Amino acid sequence: MKKKTAILCGWLTVALAPAAFGAIGCTLANPARDLKALYPEMTSYREDVKELAKLPDGRAAYEALRARVGGDLDPVYEAFDVPYTLYSVFRGDEKLGYVHGVNVPGRGGVIQVFLAVDPETAAIGRLFYQRLESPGGAALRSPAATGPFAGLSLADFYKHDYFAAADPGNEADRVGQLAPPAGLPDAARPDWDAARRGVRKNLILLDLFAFNRRHEPFYERAQAAQKEKEPTP
């Protein structure tokens, strides 16, 4: 376990521009400071590099990611060999949380979406952007935009898929109630959509890396509902 002392309690820094070539992962620019800002009671943290390409069933996991994100994966920022860094945060021997980030392509460039999640419930504690180049950056970073994601888990995203097929507009669809923040320029709407996709993708990877795919039953139920709604040939 990596020990850290004399940690400054600043806020998240903007990452340097990614390398021009090769698989591009997403790491905290200053993990000691950034994790301490998220968890002031932290005494230590651990970094684990995860790579789908190195898993025994890596190719199947990558195809599962593609299916669960819904749509194509970016050939640079979401390639098969992209490394991911999972941060585990501790107070003594107690695990306080996980922090994990992903890259997603936005209109103005790559968006780095980080989540701090509860290690027991797998629910989001905080959403933040390490990198966000958007005409609506201020609105997207505002608590009014990031706050509604707190408390959501991957189960909520899969339930949204279920409700969209079986019961559109259901008040229990928490993800369906997410809306772009007030004042978001029209030009920044693609970045809002990309960011929400990034949250979903992040949670899918966390489900694989940290939670032993505990949310698969919700995905399977959503898939069944979607098939029931498909027109009969």
- HEC letters along the chain: CEECCCCCCCCCCCCCCCCCCCCCCECCCCHHHHHHHHCCCCCEEEEEEEEHHHCCCHHHHHHHHHHHHCCCCCCCCCCCCCEEEEEEEEECCEEEEEEEEEEEEECCEEEEEEEEECCCCCCEEEEEEEECCCCCHHHHHCHHHHHHHCCCCHHHHHHHHHHHHHCCCCCCCCHHHCCCCCCCCHHHHHHHHHHHHHHHHHHHHHHHHCCCCCCHHHHHHHHHHHHHHCCCC
**The overall pTM is greater than 0.85:** yes
Q: How far apart are CA 145 and CA 177, in angstroms?
A: 12
Scanning the structure block, which residue is given the tokens 């923040």?
Answer: 181
Output the pLDDT for position 108: 81
Question: Mean pLDDT, consecutive 10-residue segments, the chain of 233 residues?
Answer: 36 36 82 97 98 95 96 93 97 98 93 98 98 95 97 98 95 96 94 97 98 97 90 65
Residue 165 lies in a domain: yes
Output the pLDDT for position 232: 63
Output the pLDDT for position 230: 75
- Domain of residue 208 covers 20-114+127-229
Output the pLDDT for position 10: 32
Residue 122 lies in a domain: no
Residue 162 lies in a domain: yes
Residue 4 lies in a domain: no
Residue 13 lies in a domain: no
Domain count along the chain: 1
Output the pLDDT for position 90: 98
Residue 10 lies in a domain: no
Output the pLDDT for position 7: 31
* Sheet with 109-117: strands ordered across: 2-3, 44-51, 83-91, 94-106, 109-117, 124-131
